[in-house]
Amino acid sequence: MRRQRKIIHVDMDAFYASVEQRDFPEYRGKPLIVGGLPEGRGGVVATASYEARSYGVRSAMPSKVAQRLCPDALFVYPRFDAYKAASRHIREIFHRYTDIVEPLSLDEAYLDVTDDKQGIGSALVIAKRIKQAIREELQLTASAGVSINKFVAKIASDMQKPDGLTFIGPSKIEAFMEELPVERFFGVGKVTAAKMKAMGFNIGADLKKLSEAELIHYFGKPGRFYYQIVRGIDHREVQPHREAKSVSVEDTYQQDLTAVDDMLAELGRLTVKLVSRLQGAQLKGRTITVKFKFHDFSLMTRSHTLQEPVNDEGSLFHIVKRIIGKVDLRGRKIRLLGVGVSNLEKQDGVRREKTIDAQLKLFAAPSSDDAQPSDL
């Protein structure tokens, strides 16, 4: 019989913006946008404070659009050294309770506390203590989700942001999954969600009516995972020492991209996510790959290999732009873009200085995601 696990997903609240507001009192209580400035061709929003989010500003939004939504917003360039320092401290807090920690990026991670170091025995208590330590030691807030598997814990952490703590116990999981909107399912992007809704599948209960074979027929291999997860079944383990061969991000668009400027804006957004994952896993890589899927579903990849491994925004996006410059995209319609890094190695701890211009190139991109409850 498979042992019931105790999983916590911790997600920092508006991480970059919160660090800026902590370090600079003049930003507190004001709508703050971290990313590229809206002047000129404009940049991309890396993250926004909750004051800015109340105006509809979201991560990866073109800065020009963000400024239109929130004219009084303050724009600041990101300080990744400060964010990495905070992330290291947060990870040290995690390791006080367990060594089974799987970072997803600088600002979120899974923890398996089934057998915690301090013998506390309650994942809820551990999550509360982690949140308290982050608040007291870093003057930042985090939201946490607690459950028996990774998928449900991650969904739970997003339910009461900011500064939330949500527990979804074993007896509640299946009913919770039945009510979950399909766009919240792992692996369901905008295009797949639109397809599901067009077919009348709006929530988990709708998907649950389909057999595994039907889900695979309609949605391909991911249908097998949908069949399991809608029933609250997720056997993926928290992987603290996963040896990644590559790290990549991609997105599919409901409307094909035809302008190179729009493609670069999207690639800038994807590079932000990629860098967060690389730095969160303390990885660098030599080979940068850009993936294109065209409107006829044909695929093309183009890569460039460097002599030295990198994981900073300026270097990665510089290579992405070089790759784009060598590809004839005139008249082509793009339905998917992706950016990946391979030939990976762990960070050596030696700081490689970058000029401020290189660090900020990315953000000048053109504008255009059967224990009882008491046992956890």
Q: Which residues are catalytic?
A: 108
Check: CB of residue 268 under 8 Å from CB of residue 260.
Answer: no
| 3-state SS, one letter per residue, for the chain | CCCCCCEEEEEECCHHHHHHHHHCHHHCCCCEEEECCCCCCCCEEEEECHHHHCCCCCCCCEHHHHHHHCCCCEEECCCHHHHHHHHHHHHHHHCCCCCCEEEEECCEEEEECCCCCCCCCCHHHHHHHHHHHHHHHHCCCEEEEEECCHHHHHHHHCCCCCCCEEECCHHHHHHHHHHCEHHHCCCCCHHHHHHHHHCCCCEHHHHHCCCHHHHHHHHCCHHHHHHHHCCCCCCCCCCCCCCCCEEEEEEEEEEEECCHHHHHHHHHHHHHHHHHHHHHCCEEEEEEEEEEEECCCCEEEEEEEEEEEECCHHHHHHHHHHHHHCCCCCCCCEEEEEEEEEEEEECCCCCCCCCHHHHHHHHHCCCCCCCCHHHC
Using a 10 angstrom Cβ sphere, with 0-12 exposed, 13-18 middle and 19 or more buried, the burial of residue 225 is buried
